[in-house]
Amino acid sequence: MKSRNLFLATAMLFTASMPVPAQTHKTAPDFTARSLEDKPIHLSDYRGKLVLLNFWATWCGPCISEIPRFSTWQTKFGPQGFQVLGVSMDDDKPPVQKTALKYHLTYPIMMGDEHLGELYGGILGLPITYLISPQGKILARYQGETNLDQLEKRLATLLPPKKP
Amino acid sequence: MKSLAAAAHRHLLFLAALMTLALAHPAFAQSEHIPASSIPTADLIQPADLAATLQSTSPKPLILQVGSHVLFAEAHIPGSEYAGPTNQPTGIQILKDRTAVLPKDTPIVLYCGCCPWERCPNIAPAYNLLHAAGFTHLKVLYIADNFGTDWVAKKYPVAKGR
């Protein structure tokens, strides 16, 4: 029984950390969404940066466990041309505003909807995170709780060295 | 000295009462996670079985989605109704209102699929509400990973829109 549980746990960890290959190497669809401050945010404005596009929601446990790390990465890697963008799939803005304040999020959060979800192939389970190259190509799509240590290593290899 | 101790005791009791009231407030309801594993296995229905029922000529259950409205709009089971999210007081109220006048033997299937089964914040509160209300033909759709993987990707019937 113990070994079966261990096998299942290992299998779950492995699948959770694997990027899903769907849509990779395609150009990330451009979109405009409203920020929590009701300002328009265009994905194309971030061309030239390595973008982590994270679909999440306040009611999603795995999402909430990821966002503090994304916030840390924004501070750590931002000067090297890295940008996190959060798209909330919540129905309403107030819980998102509350969560953004609670976790002191250091990157823009915008409100998503079903149209944006469909544009990205269906956001029908959270979290889903895209890694987008400075040229706007999708490098990876991570579905479910991501292995953040592995992802951080990947970011470090993709970004230019820190300026002295 | 005795009166001082009695006053301190009363003060502590008052604080405890305040804390109990505060924790019972709906604002705290969202943070309490009730695991989906608390739902009895006998009350689960597998996606393949529900899909077969939908495609058959047999009477259809009332299907209620108790998750996010945005995800419902992206894709949902044809004929299902949005009735959530039941991890929040507003969602609980929607579900209560929708089921208030139904006969207790109405066949109902609840589903969410926002997150992996064990992490779903909505499905167990929805089940507990209707079970406590006395619904006798209540089933919960077992969605292991999420609605995209366990329903849409398996080519079961899907509808879009709110």
Q: How far is CA A96 from CA A112, A125, B93, B161, in A?
A: 11, 18, 21, 23
Higher pLDDT, B5 or B98: B98
Per-position pLDDT tens, chain A of length 164:
445 444 444 444 433 444 454 567 799 999 999 999 999 999 999 999 999 999 999 988 899 999 999 999 999 999 999 999 999 999 999 999 999 999 999 999 999 999 999 999 899 999 999 999 999 999 999 988 889 999 999 999 999 988 76
Would an 8 Å CB–CB cutoff place B119 in contact with chain A? yes
Q: Contact B68/A125, CB-based, under 8 Å? A: no
Record: fold of B33-152: Oxidized Rhodanese; domain 1 (3.40.250)
| Amino acid, single-letter form, for residue B139 | K
**Residue of A61, A91, A143 with shortest CB distance to B70:** A91
Classify domain A19-158 at the CATH class level.
Answer: alpha beta
For residue B21, give how far its alpha carbon lies from the nearest alpha carbon of chain A (Å).
22
Closest CA to B110 of B89, B125, B132: B125
Higher pLDDT, A105 or B15: A105
Q: Contact A91/B68, CB-based, under 8 Å? A: yes
Burial class (CB in 10 A: 0-12, 13-18, 19+), A82: buried
For residue A152, give how far its alpha carbon lies from the nearest alpha carbon of chain B (Å).
23
Q: Predicted ipTM?
A: 0.78
Predicted confidence at residue B34, as pLDDT, reads 87
Domain positions in chain B: 1-31, 33-152
Instruction: Report the residue of B32, B65, B70, B145 to disrupt the A interface, i.e. the one with the largest count of A CBs within 10 Å.
Output: B70
Residue of chain A whose Cα is closest to the Cα of B74: A114
d(CA B13, CA A78): 51
pLDDT, one tens digit per residue, over B38-88 is 999 999 999 999 999 999 999 999 999 999 999 999 999 999 999 978 988
d(CA A93, CA A113): 12
Cα–chain center distance at B78: 19
